[in-house]
Amino acid sequence: MTPFRADLHTHTTCSDGTYSPIELVELAVASGLSGLSITDHDTIAAYAEAVPAALKNNILLLPGVEFSAAHQNETVHILGYGFNLNSPDIQSLCNKHQERRTKRLQAILELLHKKRMPLDPSDLASVTSGHPASIGRPHIALAMVAKGYVSSFQQAFDLYIGEGACCYIRDPLFSVEETIATLHQGGGVAVIAHPHLIKNPRLLEQLLLFNFDGIEGYYGNFSLLDNQRWLKIAHQKKWLLTGGSDFHGKIKPTLPLGRSWVNRERFDLLSGYHAHLH
Ligand code: AMP
Ligand code: ZN
Ligand code: FE
Ligand code: FE
């Protein structure tokens, strides 16, 4: 019997991933996963397709999302799990993010236009499939590569749209407190995403004081040795421990689906399946 593995950090075409929700569910099954959470940036739109696909393909699907939040002018990613997919609080936060992203896109396109790198809706449409609920900077980067403005996806970030570059827009994000509270209102848990990537030690110190329920200890290509620090923190704080690949498909080809995962016990703790045992 294949051991139970659940990848709890994945993206679809509803944000900046390259697999549709159905394709992702099918790939998860083909990759030998027994559980999956789709954590698109600031949207839960994938679940409309993913829920029936998961039932059909006999894989356990845990509601998830990756919210962008701000703390002292720095962006923080917060994973949410196990919330009610019909929660008006969560839906409303997603809607506010969509408005923010649409406005930010316009502002970035204006800056790029001034730099003689115009992009029109058809340029963006050619790098997204359909209309992603969350349009993101990776889409802009792909369109810039397709137009020949930059030679690579990474160069688009380094020279133009990455944090601090000339066409970067820092738009107002919702606070960490507000994001955690919304996830709790929706019946879910709030988890610090990829602490491995937090470069500012003061930011990390402060995040650990918030009302989080868990931390993403197993992440992407990081080794078990790299993960030790986060496993220790989860243990000390009696927090949930989560894990996932951050699979995006073709835009991040070095991160295969299932690269990081959690076992059955951790999956059940998150989904509350075993609530009756406690
Ligand atoms: P957004 O949420 O639209 O601001 O896009 C954020 C995403 O862009 C992140 O999740 C990364 O995948 C990608 N990204 C941000 N900064 C960089 C960077 N400097 N280099 C490459 N990718 C980046
Ligand atoms: Zn992403
Ligand atoms: Fe992230
Ligand atoms: Fe992610």
This prediction's pTM: 0.95
Q: 160 in ligand 1 pocket by Cβ < 6 Å? A: no
Ligand 3 centroid distance, CA of 137 (Å): 13
Residue having the nearest C-alpha atom to atom 16 of ligand 1: 162
Distance, CA of 272 to chain centre: 21
Residue-wise burial string across 72-105, b where 16 or more C-beta atoms lie within 10 A, e elsewhere: eebebbbbbbbbeeebebbbebbeebbebbeebb
- Series of mean pLDDT values for 10-residue runs along the chain (278 residues): 93 96 98 98 98 97 98 95 97 97 96 97 87 93 96 97 95 94 97 97 97 97 94 97 97 94 96 53
Give me the pLDDT at residue 273, please.
55
Residue having the nearest C-alpha atom to atom 20 of ligand 1: 157
H helices of the chain, in order, are 21-30, 47-57, 88-114, 121-125, 137-146, 153-156, 176-185, 201-207, 224-237, 264-271
**Terminal CA-CA length for the chain:** 28
Q: 106 in ligand 1 pocket by Cβ < 6 Å? A: no
Ligand 3 centroid distance, CA of 70 (Å): 13
Secondary structure element (H or E) that encloses residue 190, with its range: strand 189-192
Cβ-Cβ contacts under 8 Å for 271 (sequence gap 6 or more):
60, 62, 81, 82
User: In whole angstroms, what is the distance from residue 238 CA to residue 224 CA?
Assistant: 20
Residue 71: left (phi > 0), alpha (psi -120 to 50), or beta? beta
User: In whole angstroms, what is the distance from residue 81 CA to residue 32 CA?
Assistant: 22
* Closest ligand (CA of 246): 4
Ligand 2 centroid distance, CA of 11 (Å): 6
Residue having the nearest C-alpha atom to atom 3 of ligand 1: 136
Give me the pLDDT at residue 130, please.
74
User: What letter would DSSP give residue 196?
Assistant: G
Q: 162 in ligand 1 pocket by Cβ < 6 Å? A: yes
Q: 17 in ligand 1 pocket by Cβ < 6 Å? A: no
Cβ-Cβ contacts under 8 Å for 68 (sequence gap 6 or more):
41, 42, 75, 76, 77, 97, 173
Give me the pLDDT at residue 272, please.
74
Structure tokens given for 230? 């986060």
* Closest ligand (CA of 18): 2
Give the bridge partners for 81, in sequence order. 64, 189
User: What letter would DSSP give residue 158?
Assistant: I
Give me the pLDDT at residue 100, please.
96
Distance, CA of 170 to chain centre: 19
Give me the pLDDT at residue 131, please.
81
